[in-house]
Amino acid sequence: MAKQAKSKQKKMNVRVDFTPMVDMMMLLITFFMLCTSLSKPQSLQLTMPSNDKNIKQSDQNEAKASQSITVYIGENGKVFYGEGVLKPEDPKWLHETNWGKDGLRKELRYHDVEGYPNAPVDEIMKAKAKLDAQKAADPKKYTQEVYDKELDDLKSGIVNGQKIPTLTVVIKPTDNASYKNLIDALDEIQICSIGTYVIDKLNPQEKEMLAKRGIK
């Protein structure tokens, strides 16, 4: 018997055309670019001095001091704060706290302002919670633009049509402070809806005060 010749399978070269996929990706990128709203840059609130000539300079300084807190960030996640004007010789001026709702956030939220019966940051936070609920209930009425405008008003101290005092936070990290803890401090300020804050360097008096407390 004659041997049957083995049939050889013919190899086919498969060529994948990626042109339709590229076209689809370009369409998706264009779609997301058109539908995505870019976040607006956040601005700091600047409090201008009063034009009232009947107010004494000493009274202005006292009011400003009662509306400020200085936050010091040290190594190993240590955080301290002082209220009002720096008092390096007063051992009770600098207080140690921690991070979270029962630490720095609590001190910022319930900070009392001289001449005002309530804690202003607490009022602003409650007003923001109400604003968030209104936006969730009626998103068509409270567009992002409307929401941002009302939130800016709250941070500037306008609550229920009335102007209330606001809190200024000065953040001063030491040379050994971590970048993470600096972000943590900014997060606490954002959670408390505080619109005015400053990141500054330590002055010689503060460096000496912290060194005496063993804070690095």
pLDDT digits (tens, 9 = 90+) for 162-195: 999 999 999 999 999 999 999 999 999 999 999 8
What is the number of H-type helices and E-type strands within the chain?
A: 7, 7
Q: Read off the pLDDT of residues 119-149 as tens digits, 9 standing for 90 and up.
A: 999 999 999 999 999 999 998 898 999 999 9
Pairwise CA distance, residues 194 & 28, whole Å:
38
Q: Read off the pLDDT of residues 62-81 as tens digits, 9 standing for 90 and up.
A: 446 778 999 999 999 999 99
Pairwise CA distance, residues 5 & 202, whole Å:
92
Are 125 and 109 contacting, i.e. CB atoms less than 8 angstroms apart? yes
pLDDT at residue 47 in the model? 44
Q: Mean pLDDT for the chain?
A: 82
pTM of the model: 0.69
Q: Helices 144-155 and 120-137 sit at what angle, rounded to 10 degrees?
A: 170
- From residue 39, alpha-carbon distances to 36, 42, 134, 196 in Å are 9, 9, 21, 20
Pairwise CA distance, residues 90 & 81, whole Å:
13
Q: Which residue type occupies 104?
A: L
